[in-house]
Amino acid sequence: MNDYTQQLSPNHIVEQLKSWYREAISKNNSDHIRSHYVDLLNEVYDAVDNMRLIIKKDNQVEEDDKNDWICDYCGKSTFETDYDYLVSPKLHLECAFHEELEKK
């Protein structure tokens, strides 16, 4: 890492946002300067909100996927099961053996 690269930690980011907030509410600044800092804060807030929505959608897609991965034999989830232990997304290998034994 060279001298010109700065690592950003959550603490650095929060401190910067606090600084922008202080500038946005300062009575010592002109309306133009306060407005500038309000705009910066709003841009950050919007970006964070958009990232939260994406994460929420991704989590919802995974939850929806999990609902499709239920074993027809035992009714338990197959979503986290290694492929080596599945006959299909809806049937554990062990359940397939039990099912086959019941048929005999």
Count of beta carbons in the 10 Å neighbourhood of residue 79: 14
Write down the pTM of the prediction: 0.49
Give tens-digit pLDDT for 11-48. Answer: 888 999 999 999 999 999 999 999 999 999 999 999 99
List all residues 6 or more positions away from 57 whose beta carbon is below 8 Å from its beta carbon.
Answer: none
Count of beta carbons in the 10 Å neighbourhood of residue 98: 12
